[in-house]
Chains A and B, each alone.
Chain A
Amino acid sequence: MIDPMTAPATQCTITVTVNGRAYTRTVEARLLLVDFLRNELGLTGTHVGCDTTNCGACTVHVDGRSVKSCTMFAVQADGRAVRTVEGLAPPSPFGRGAGGEGALHPLQQAFHELHALQCGYCTPGMLMSALYLLERNLRPSREEIKRAIAGNLCRCTGYHFIVDAIELAARRMRGDVE
């Protein structure tokens, strides 16, 4: 066990709770959180887009705050709780598709219904930024929604359907419509 608390080390043993489950791994100090999630844990829902803090495809929550996981080292998440797109919908005993569809998170359901994606590359990050907003404000204006997703680039949709979907999810989450 290498303890980064005592002496500088290039390899560090970290424990990160991801979507409620604790993982302990020994990793290189320079390993980026997004690569820890994808390559060490196999959670490939979080995407690497620009790798330069611009596009937001790699957005996850760390201790409840949205961050870009390409701009954070895995060691910085040691002892923290991470939530990724895989943590949005509770797992279904029937797997994906038949029987599992109803288990989508309201944001995922709204994105699905309103075609708030085309290629889907930005979608995991878009969902996590939208979730960060709705956890703080269930009655966002369209302007507030646009500001909340300013750190997430979509090159397909022109954003209109994404804003629509976040509005719909907000309405459903506060119980205004079915």
Chain B
Amino acid sequence: MYPRAFHYVRATSLEHAVALLGEYGDEARPLAGGASLIPLLKLRLAAPTVLVDVGRLDALAGIARRDGHVAVGAVTRHVEVEDDAALAAALPLLHDVAAGIGDAQVRNMGTVGGGLAEADPAGDWGPALLAVGGSVRAVGPGGERVIPAAELFVDAYTTDLRPDELLTEVLFPLPGPRSGSAHLKFEVRAGDFAVANCSVAVTLDDAGRCVAIGIGLGGVGLRPERVGAAEALLRGQVPAPALVAEAAEAVRTCTDSFDDVRGSAAYRQHLGAVLFERALALALERAASEQ
């Protein structure tokens, strides 16, 4: 399978990349690792005439801690997050997400920014970013802007990014003490797309109440959803079993779903609720052990 012929250009700087995307607009697509884009090109679901290779830009690489955030450069490979033990301790769901993506080769090729920009409905980074209330930084001809996760995902494979904008950095706020987080997914076979996935981030007070709670659900709807209704039920409360069951019901019904070869709409919704309960339990366990 071969993509339609395209022009390739390797950006030499962030400014160069932005200028190229500005010049070619929706004729161009940025190429980072290629793990998401190249399959789309081979299937001819995307057929840009220009590929702007940003995969080697140092300005987009690496993981830093700054201003209370973990800032992950857009072309950081999943494996770099997976291998960062300090990061796993600070925000465990980042490790859950990275270590669970595809297989070793895909984690070596794929990038965090690329996965978010592709906005596959079953992607893992979207729910995680929603659960922690993160954001992405994007640069275009008009300058830079920060897009909150809640505004990033428009539809399946569609984000708020404009064709001439480049996602440069992903910002995950670092939680305070007594916090825990987890990301779980269910896949029919190893490396397959998830049928459903769920991220939960929670911060407890001394009485065991959820002072902060974030829930992101993926694979069920056509875009990752932040489940505000379930968060509202749990916020300020001790997560007792009856309340968690009520929140799980809110997760189950938070979005329409669809039937496909991996499962029916009803099955997906059910699975989302089950994964929520398990991810919450794991996040609470991690919050309790963190102290």
Give 6 closest A-B pairs by Cβ, nearest first: A151-B103, A8-B7, A29-B8, A8-B9, A65-B108, A150-B190
CB distance from B198 to the nearest CB of A (A): 22
Number of chain B interface residues as a range:
35 or more
Say whether A151 contacts B104, CB under 8 Å. yes
A72 is an interface residue with CB less than 8 A from chain B: yes
On whether A71 and B8 interact (CB within 8 A), knowing A56-B103, A76-B53, A76-B55, the answer reads no
A18-26, A46-54, A93-101, A105-113: which one contacts chain B? Answer: A46-54
Please report whether the interface of chain B is mostly helix, strand, loop or mixed according to DSSP: mixed
Say whether A4 contacts B8, CB under 8 Å. yes
A49→B186 CA distance, assembly (Å): 26
A9 is an interface residue with CB less than 8 A from chain B: yes
What is the total of A-B residue contacts with beta carbons within 8 Å? 97
Further contacts, 8 of them, CB under 8 A, given A53-B106, A71-B38: A4-B8, A9-B9, A12-B8, A56-B103, A66-B105, A72-B109, A129-B104, A150-B103
Interface residue ranges of A1-55 to B (CB < 8 Å): 4-10, 12, 28-30, 32, 51-54
Residue of chain B at shortest CB distance from A58: B105
CB distance from B26 to the nearest CB of A (A): 15
A154 is an interface residue with CB less than 8 A from chain B: no
A9→B50 CA distance, assembly (Å): 9
A133→B5 CA distance, assembly (Å): 36
Say whether B50 contacts A76, CB under 8 Å. no
A residues in contact with B191, CB < 8 Å: 54, 150-151
- Most chain A CB within 10 A, of B4, B51, B108, is at B108
A68→B34 CA distance, assembly (Å): 11
B residues in contact with A28, CB < 8 Å: 5
B residues adjacent to A (C-beta < 8 A) = 1-10, 12, 20, 24, 31, 34-35, 38-39, 41-42, 50-51, 53, 55, 77, 79, 102-106, 108-109, 190-191
Q: Looking at the complex, which one of B7, B24, B38 makes contact with A72 (CB distance below 8 Å)?
A: B38
Say whether A68 contacts B5, CB under 8 Å. no
A161 is an interface residue with CB less than 8 A from chain B: no
Q: Looking at the complex, which one of A29, A52, A76, A148 makes contact with B39 (CB distance below 8 Å)?
A: A52
B residues in contact with A53, CB < 8 Å: 35, 38-39, 106
Beta-carbon contacts of A109-128 to B below 8 Å, as 1s and 0s? Answer: 00000000000000000000
28 contacts between A and B (CB under 8 A): A4-B8, A4-B9, A4-B53, A5-B12, A8-B24, A9-B9, A29-B5, A29-B7, A29-B8, A30-B2, A51-B1, A53-B38, A56-B103, A56-B105, A65-B77, A66-B105, A68-B109, A71-B38, A71-B39, A72-B38, A72-B109, A76-B31, A76-B53, A76-B55, A132-B104, A147-B104, A148-B104, A151-B103
